[in-house]
């Protein structure tokens, strides 16, 4: 099973982004990103959200609930409604256990 950090790295690489690209896009320091990807520390929920949107992957993939990278958002014009995070108790519990900055 892939670790949280490995999932972040795979998602970044899938978008063909460097750590510097991530810094430029959302202002995340490359040392912080490196620590997240190496499992030294974990990002706060807001940073997880920003990375999910930037990498355009599903939150289920990043959080290890699925091995399908999927997409953060349905294609424009899609009638698919993304699930509400607030209705997923397991996801909320995992997010609330992440350390803050």
Q: For residue 88, is it within any domain? A: yes
Q: What is the pLDDT confidence band of residue 92, given thresholds at 50, 70 and 90?
A: low
pTM higher than 0.85, yes or no? no
Q: For residue 101, is it within any domain? A: no
Q: How many domains does the chain have?
A: 1
Give the chain's radius of gyration (CA, Å). Answer: 13
Please write the tens of the pLDDT for every residue from 4-51: 999 999 999 999 999 999 999 999 888 999 999 999 999 999 999 999
Do 11 and 62 contact (CB within 8 A), yes or no?
yes
Q: For residue 25, is it within any domain? A: yes
Q: Which residue has the tokens 């750590």?
A: 19
Q: Which residue has the tokens 């490196």?
A: 34
Output the domain CATH number for residue 11.
1.10.260
Structural domain boundaries, residue 26: 4-96
**Residue 68 in 3-state DSSP?**
coil
Do 82 and 23 contact (CB within 8 A), yes or no?
no
């Amino acid at each position: 099973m892939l670790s949280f950090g490995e999932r972040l790295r795979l998602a970044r690489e899938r978008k063909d982004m460097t750590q510097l690209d991530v810094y430029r896009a959302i202002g995340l320091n490359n040392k912080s990103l490196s620590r997240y990807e190496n499992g030294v520390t974990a990002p706060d929920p807001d940073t997880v959200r920003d990375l999910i949107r930037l990498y355009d992957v599903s939150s289920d993939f990043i959080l290890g609930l699925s091995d399908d990278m999927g997409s953060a958002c349905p294609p424009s014009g899609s009638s698919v409604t993304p699930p509400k995070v607030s209705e997923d108790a397991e996801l909320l519990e995992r997010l609330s256990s992440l350390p803050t900055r």
